[in-house]
Amino acid sequence: MDKSKLQLYFIMGTPNIGGKDPLAVLEAALKGGITAFQLREKGEGALVDVELKELAEQCKALCEEYKVPFIVNDNVDLALEIDADGVHIGQEDGVVSEVRSKIGKDKLLGVSTHSLNEALTASDAGADYVGVGPLFDTDSKENAGPVVGTALIKEIVTHLPGLCIVGIGGITEGKASQVIHAGASGVAIISAITNGENIEEATRNIKGRITLALTGVEM
């Protein structure tokens, strides 16, 4: 896949935004320069059923307007029902090869990984990219697991140089360049965007850090 589509990967669900309008948050992030979006509707107060489908369809329409891939977290049936661009699964959310078979070869498939072996397995089973983390301490995800650090990204790059890698977990504007320098294709962000007073500006600032890190012209 095109690695540039993963440079600034925004993840959001209604439990992450403190009562804000999710579509307003998403559009501000799109204006700020996110390159991919994942709807991750989990946790206390998360939408389900008809409400979830409605939000997903509205998010998809916004992403299409900005030509940004729209990815659904875990819910393969929903992703297929609304014709999302892809699906992202965790280690306990399904067998990667079975999910790939179900969604077909044209949709994006991402897999959360926490070790080299998990990344190797995901790649062999047909994942387009892996999420690696948590890289740093994070409050955005319950039971996130132990921090793995950016060294794991370097290790995966060594063994799988062609695999798209997205770093996730506790990444702030100031830490984004560390993740890129470790060899990641991009960074996945939740709270560093959703908690910003000006979401569009916060997004644009993070995007700027990533761009500088990728071009190697940081001051």
Of the listed 5, 60, 100, 112, which one is catalytic? 112
Residue 40 bears catalytic tag: yes
Measured in degrees and rounded to the nearest 5, phi and psi for residue 188 equal: -105, 130
Alpha helices (H) in the chain, listed in sequence order: 22-32, 49-65, 76-81, 96-103, 116-124, 151-159, 176-181, 191-194, 199-215
- Neighbour count for residue 104 (Cβ, 10 Å): 9
Spatial CB neighbours of 179, under 8 Å, sequence gap ≥ 6? 135, 150, 153, 167, 171, 187
Spatial CB neighbours of 84, under 8 Å, sequence gap ≥ 6? 56, 60, 70, 71, 72, 78, 107
State both tokens at 131. Answer: 């999420």
- Residues forming a β-bridge with 168: 188
Residue 112 bears catalytic tag: yes
Identify the CA nearest to 126 among candidates 106, 102, 97, 103: 97
Of the listed 5, 100, 141, 175, which one is catalytic? 141
One-letter amino acid identity for 28?
A: A
Residue 141 bears catalytic tag: yes
Active-site annotation, residues: 40, 112, 141
